[in-house]
Chain A
Amino acid sequence: MGSSLQRRRALAATFVAAFALTLVPTAGAESQIYWWQHNMAPGEQGFSRTTAHNHTYNELYFGPNAGWRSEVWEVTPAGYRHFDKYCVGNCFNSHPGYYYDYPYCANRDGSTHFVNDCMDRW
């Protein structure tokens, strides 16, 4: 009887520990900067296609002297474009995580400008 109780407790503890471990990589990967200190040419696209994620945030940051056209968007592995936002200057788009996709950003000014970073969050 006592042995059975110990086995159940051990099993429960194992489940709790396993569940906790599944949370660790998720928390650690919450935010990641893909590009930084990058001088993006006209129309050049910054992107990450390593692994698709359920993105909820996409940002382009020229710097404090922003004044040029920019764009942030996301593309699914099948090639569908979503959350496509054109801006003037520094730009962000926050949205529900509807799609597993890749984040993109670009300077759309027509001339080369320093882009400090583009980042996304999932």
Chain B
Amino acid sequence: MRSRKLSLVVLIVLGCGVTAAVLSQIGLGGSDKVQIGTGKVSALTRAERASDALPASVLSYPFAAHNFASPTGAGARLVKNDGSLELYAVPGQAGMVCLIEVDELAGTAGGACADRRVLLTGSIYMADRQEDGSRQVVGLVGDGHTYAEANGRRTPVENNVFVLRGVEGSQVRIGSATADQTVDLGD
């Protein structure tokens, strides 16, 4: 009798553990693993334009050879013009997708490439520390994301990208009409 009760208690404890683990993986209980969309980036599938060509300087960096699916940057799409800032989405090697930023006026460029699965639960982003301590955050998100937000300011996602300037703190929220995710920028 006592053995049966003990077995029942063990089963209940195990059941609770498994349930908690499953719930945490699907985004309940405060987890940041909420999934939005399928990781697809529709901006990469639109018809090519002359302006989609990556600058030769970007293609000359070691980063291009390390990461781009094509050494010529084939498949890249210019997804945003924001002042002198240009953002490109680029197909990467081995299932990666890349976000490239170019500011011709400032003479700067940057890039981030990561596995496409990152887009299910977050963003492929770059966060640049500014002289005033704030950060400029540019991010690539999968289809389904509609906004990015930081410090109470919300900006729409267009062509799978967003730009947030003057970001204080270390978190950005991205989301859709029905779900949102927290992107940790690091300290």
Contacts and interface: CB of A to CB of B under 8 A. Distances in A.
Interface of A: 31, 57, 59, 61, 64-67, 69, 71, 73, 81, 84-96, 108, 119
Given A71-B186, A93-B110, A94-B110, A65 B115 contact: yes
Nearest 5 CB-CB pairings of A with B: A89-B114, A84-B129, A64-B94, A87-B112, A92-B63
A67 B118 contact: yes
B164 to A, nearest CB: 13
Contacts of A61: 63, 66-67
Interface stretch (B13-21, B79-87, B119-127, B147-155): B119-127
A94 B108 contact: yes
B114 A88 contact: yes
A108 B186 CA distance: 7
Contacts of B123: 88
A8 B109 CA distance: 47
B29 interface: no
A89 B115 contact: yes
8 contacts: A59-B62, A65-B115, A66-B114, A92-B62, A94-B57, A94-B110, A95-B108, A96-B107
Contacts of B108: 93-96
A70 B187 CA distance: 11
Contacts of A73: 129
Given A64-B94, A88-B114, A89-B118, 20 more contacts: A59-B66, A61-B66, A67-B114, A67-B115, A67-B118, A73-B129, A81-B129, A84-B128, A84-B129, A86-B125, A86-B129, A87-B126, A88-B112, A88-B118, A89-B113, A90-B113, A92-B62, A93-B109, A93-B110, A96-B108
Given A85-B126, A91-B126, A66 B113 contact: yes
A71 to B, nearest CB: 7
A90 B66 contact: yes
Contacts of A64: 93-94, 96
